[in-house]
Amino acid sequence: MNRSMKPSHVMILAVFAAGLVTLLLFISRCSTFSNVLLETENSLDRFLLQQSMLHDRLKSAVAEIDRVTQDSQQKPDLPTIYAITPTYKRFTQKADLTRLSQTFMHIPNFHWVVVEDAEKTSKIVKDLLTVKKIRFTHLAVKTQVKLLKKESDPHWKKHRGVDQRNLGLRWIRENIKDKSGVVYFADDDNTYDIDLFEEMRFTKSVSVWPVALVGGLRWEGPICVYGKVLSFFTAWQPEREFPLDMAAFAINIDIIQKYRQSYINPESKLGYLETDYLQSFNIKKEDMEPKANNCRKILVWHTQTVEPKMKQEKRLKALGMASDPSIDI
């Protein structure tokens, strides 16, 4: 048998080999091209990330300059408001603190003492505070285990924010000396009218006003006649000496310094947190200073933020497709 190839076979083989080489070349060029694309995309990502980090640094630097300028612009004759805010990690934390900060940034001579219910201060709260034009002190203390409610208990079963407020009080006692001012407990989920702070600014001992949407009522608080507290409007445990919400009063800093042992008692009976604390200053309702148009104007609302539903997030998480966790909310 003639084993040598026919010229036509050689031709076919040559064309096939040339095609193969072209295909291989094409594939290799394609993969080089896609590598180049990928590399470009990566550098663009890196560039955008660097740009956003630079932007954040610039924003905090501007906020710091504003704070320093504000400090120099502080009117020495204007008492400072020290607002103590306990806060804890949850889906709505950043939203609540953003709303608060955008109220507080309009208040002159204001110092925000933010105390996290955590082992240590978090980056998310720190970043939020540093970019805002507000003087602040950032602290953290985790609520003692014995004060925590059981998982199955409703949220009101134990007092909340007590260890945090007490740490804020201690910080004020140790750091603010010989300065006129008032102390106010501003929970992170309430809504505040900026006028409230001008009402409380010149408090001599303890000033009071009504709070809306609390105690199962449209409003709860002092009933005042001719600039004196006559009684209190409340629907629950009216025998309490001061049936007031934490957002319903402010205390002069000299009183805070004078009664150095007065702290909020985490062991107070439910609903007695505020009355027990106010009673520890030996104050009588006759000595309280009614504010907000003789306690007839609402300037603070006990708005509680609803816990958002995360049904879809959980479903996607189970599929390994949850939302990008590197995007802070």
For Mn ion, the binding residue among 96, 116, 187, 245 (CB under 5 A) is: 187
| Residue number with CB closer to ligand UGA (161 or 210) | 161
Interface of this chain with ligand UGA, residues 226 to 285, rule: CB under 6 A: 245-246, 273
Residue 207's binding partner among ligand UGA, Mn ion, none (Cβ under 5 to 8 angstroms by kind) is: none
**Residues facing residue 185 across a β-bridge:** 84
Spatial separation of the C-alpha atoms in residues 180 and 168, rounded to whole Å:
17
Residue 245's binding partner among ligand UGA, Mn ion, none (Cβ under 5 to 8 angstroms by kind) is: ligand UGA
Q: What is the CA radius of gyration of the chain?
A: 31
- Is residue 274 involved in binding Mn ion (CB under 5 A)? no
> Is-catalytic flag, 119?
no
- Is residue 199 involved in binding ligand UGA (CB under 6 A)? no
3-state SS record for the chain: CCCCCCHHHHHHHHHHHHHHHHHHHHHHHHHHHHHHHHHHHHHHHHHHHHHHHHHHHHHHHHHHHHHHHHHHHCCCCCCEEEEEEEECCCCCHHHHHHHHHHHHCCCCCEEEEEEECCCCCCHHHHHHHHCCCCEEEEEECCCCHHHCCCCCCCHHHCCCCHHHHHHHHHHHHHHCCCCCEEEEECCCCCEECCHHHHHHCCCCCEEECCEECCCCCCEEEEEEECCEEEEEECCCCCCCCCCCCHHHEEEEHHHHHHCCCCCCCCCCCCCCHHHHHHHCCCCCHHHCEECHHHHCCCCEECCCCCCCCCHHHHHHHHCCCCCCCCCCC
For ligand UGA, the binding residue among 99, 111, 132, 160 (CB under 6 A) is: 160
For ligand UGA, the binding residue among 111, 240, 291, 302 (CB under 6 A) is: 302
Burial 272-287, CB ≥16 within 10 A → b, else e: bbbbbbbeebebebee
Nearest by Cα to 291 from 176, 180, 179, 193 = 193
User: What's the closest the beta carbon of residue 121 comes to ligand UGA, in angstroms?
Assistant: 13
- Is residue 96 involved in binding Mn ion (CB under 5 A)? no
Residue 273's binding partner among Mn ion, ligand UGA, none (Cβ under 5 to 8 angstroms by kind) is: ligand UGA
Residue 222's binding partner among Mn ion, ligand UGA, none (Cβ under 5 to 8 angstroms by kind) is: none
User: What's the closest the beta carbon of residue 242 comes to ligand UGA, in angstroms?
Assistant: 13
Candidates 35-43, 110-118, 187-195, 225-233; binding stretch for Mn ion (CB under 5 A): 187-195
| Residue number with CB closer to ligand UGA (159 or 240) | 159
Q: For residues 208 and 229, is the Cβ–Cβ distance under 8 A?
A: yes
| Residue number with CB closer to ligand UGA (69 or 98) | 98
User: What's the closest the beta carbon of residue 304 comes to ligand UGA, in angstroms?
Assistant: 5
Q: Which residue is nearest to ligand UGA (CB)?
A: 161
Interface of this chain with ligand UGA, residues 179 to 198, rule: CB under 6 A: 187-189
Residue 220's binding partner among Mn ion, ligand UGA, none (Cβ under 5 to 8 angstroms by kind) is: none
- Is residue 163 involved in binding Mn ion (CB under 5 A)? no
Out of 267, 274, 286, 307, pick the active-site residue. Answer: 274
Interface of this chain with ligand UGA, residues 124 to 143, rule: CB under 6 A: 143
- Is residue 220 involved in binding ligand UGA (CB under 6 A)? no
The residues annotated as belonging to the active site are 274
Q: Which residues bind ligand UGA (CB under 6 A)?
A: 85-88, 117, 143, 156, 159-161, 164, 187-189, 245-246, 273, 302, 304
